[in-house]
Amino acid sequence: MNADYVPKNVVETPIDFDSDENSQVEEDLQGQEEVCHKNPNRVMDKKQKTIVLGKQVDGDNSVSFKLVEFNHEKCRLELAKIIIIDELPFKHVEGVGFKGFMSHAQPRLKIPSRVTVARDCMQLYKEEKMVLRSLLSLNYQMVSLTTDTWTSIQNINYMCGTYHFIDEGWELQKNIIGFGLISNHRGDTIGKALEKCLKDWGITKICTITVDNSSPNNVALSYLTRNMNAWNGNISLNGKYMHLRWYAPILNLIMYDGLSLIDSSIINIRASCKHVKSSPSRLALFKVCVKDANICTSQKVVIDVEARWNSTYLVLELASKYEEAFNHLESGDPSYVFELEVIKGTPSVHDWNRA
C-alpha cells in the first residue's frame, strides 16, 4: 500500500489535549507509566515485598516461599557483618566491581561510604559487647582465660585475651574480649593490660588463666592475683592454681629436644629440598630424575619453616618418597654435590633411614 494514501472517509482532525476527555487519557497513561515494570524510572514502593525461596530442610523435598520486605538498615547491618567476618577492608564497598554487582542484586540499596561502614562496624561491636556483658553478668560459673602476646613483622607488640566458660545450658562459650597494642612484653605491662580488660568486661570470677611458659607471664599473673584480691575479685583458692601453662610450647620444646638427635640428617635433607626448589632449571632436572627412578606420586617436595617442627616432619615424609630421585641427582648433577658438600654433604643411607 502507498504510504501517502489516505482513505476518503478519514478526516484528519487536530487533537485537543486541553479537553476533559484527552486530559483523562493523559492521566491514565501517566498511571500506566508509574506501574509499568519495564519503566526504568519507575519509583519503587519501599514497602513492596519480594518473593524468595525459603530454606530447605535436609530430607524434605518440599519447596517453600516467603515474602521479604526490603529494609535499608538491615542491609547496612549485614554489609558490616560481611566486612567483619570476611576480614575485608572498608574501601571494599567503594570498589567498582562491588558497586556493579549490587546495582543488579539490589538496586534499591544506597551503598554507604567506607567511613559509614567503619562507623557501622564499630556500632555493631558495641552492641555485641553489651550482649556479651549481659551474658557474663547472668553467669554464675567461674571463667577461664587464655592470653597471648606477640610481636608483628612491623615490630609492633600485640596482646589477645579470650574467655571460656560453660553456660547454664551446658554449652561452652568462647569469645575474644581483648585485642590491642601493648608497649612491651614486661610482666607488669601484661598484668595491667589483663586487669584493665577484666574490669572493662566486669569479670570477677576467675578459675584459671592459661599463658605461655615465660618469666614475664609469671610476673603478670602474680600482679593480677594481688590486685584481684584487693578489688574483691573471686579467684579460686586465692589464685594458687590460677596460673596454667600452655602445653603447646612445652610440647614444642620436647619435640625440638628429640629432633636434635637427628639434626644432621634433617640439615642434609632440607638442603637437598632447597636445592631442587631454588630455580626452574634445577626443578626440571629433578623431574627428569624422578622419571628415571620410576617414582609415581602427585605429592611434591616442599620446604619447611625451621621454627615449626610439624612442617619439618612434612619435609622428611615427602622427601623420603623421592630418595631414589635424589640418588640419581647426585650422580647426574655436579652442582648439587658441590653445593651440599659446603654444608654437610648429600643425604646418606643413614640419613634416609632416620627420615
Cβ–Cβ under 8 Å, residues 147 and 176: no
* Domain boundary pick from 91, 107, 138: 138
| Whether residue 159 is found in the same domain as residue 134 | no
Beta strands in 182-273 (DSSP E): 205-211, 234-235, 243-245
Question: Which carries the bigger pLDDT value, residue 320 or residue 54?
Answer: 320
> Is residue 79 within 8 Å of residue 117, measured between CB atoms?
yes
Q: Are residues 216 and 150 in the same domain?
A: yes
Mark whether 301 and 331 lie in a shared domain.
Answer: yes
Residues 131 and 147 in one domain: no
- The predicted-structure confidence for 18-43, as pLDDT tens digits, reads as follows 555 555 555 555 555 555 655 555 55
Range of the structural domain that residue 174 is part of: 140-245
Is there a single domain that holds both residue 151 and residue 235?
yes
Strand pairing report for 243-245 and 205-211: parallel
215 membership: H or E segment, kind and range: helix 215-230
The verdict on 217 and 240 lying in the same domain is: yes
Residue 58 domain-assigned (yes or no): no
What pLDDT is stored for residue 182 in this prediction?
A: 92
Residue 218 resides in a domain: yes
Domain membership of residue 83 (yes or no) is: yes
Question: Is 144 in the same domain as 132?
Answer: no
Helix, coil or strand: residue 165: strand
Could you read off the pLDDT of 232-278 as tens digits, one per residue? 656 666 777 788 888 877 888 888 888 888 888 888 898 899 988 88
Instruction: Answer yes or no: do 132 and 145 share one domain.
Output: no
Q: Of 129, 187, 132, 194, nearest to 159 (Cα)?
A: 194
- 165 with 103, same domain: the answer is no
b/e 60-95 (16+ beta carbons within 10 angstroms → b): eeeeeeeeeebeeeebbeebbeebeeeeeebeebee
Shared domain check, 229 and 147: yes
Please give the pLDDT value at position 256.
81
Measured CA to CA, the distance from residue 48 to residue 171 in angstroms comes to 41
Q: Is 33 helix (H, G, I), strand (E, B) or coil?
A: helix
Beta-strand pair 205-211/143-151? parallel
Q: For 129-138, what is the mean pLDDT?
A: 82
Residue 21 resides in a domain: no
Instruction: Evaluate whether residue 307 is within a structural domain.
Output: yes
Q: How many domains does the chain have?
A: 3
Q: Is pTM beyond 0.85 here?
A: no
What percent of the chain lies above the pLDDT cut of 90? 21
Residue 101 predicted with pLDDT over 60: yes
Whether residue 305 sits in one domain with residue 234 = no
Q: For residue 54, how far is the Cα from the chain centroid?
A: 28
In a domain, 164, yes or no: yes
Q: Which helix (H) or strand (E) holds 81?
A: helix 72-85
Residue 222 has what pLDDT?
87
Angle between helices 309-320 and 323-332 (to 10 degrees): 70
Tell whether 298 is covered by a domain.
Answer: yes
- Specify whether the CB–CB gap between 161 and 147 falls below 8 A: yes
Spatial separation of the C-alpha atoms in residues 86 and 88, rounded to whole Å? 6
Q: Is residue 15 part of a domain?
A: no
Q: Are residues 181 and 86 in the same domain?
A: no
CATH number for the domain spanning 193: value is 3.30.420
Residue 103 contacts by C-beta under 8 Å, 6 or more apart in sequence?
Answer: none
The backbone torsions φ and ψ at residue 122, rounded to the nearest 5 degrees and listed phi first, read: -65, -40
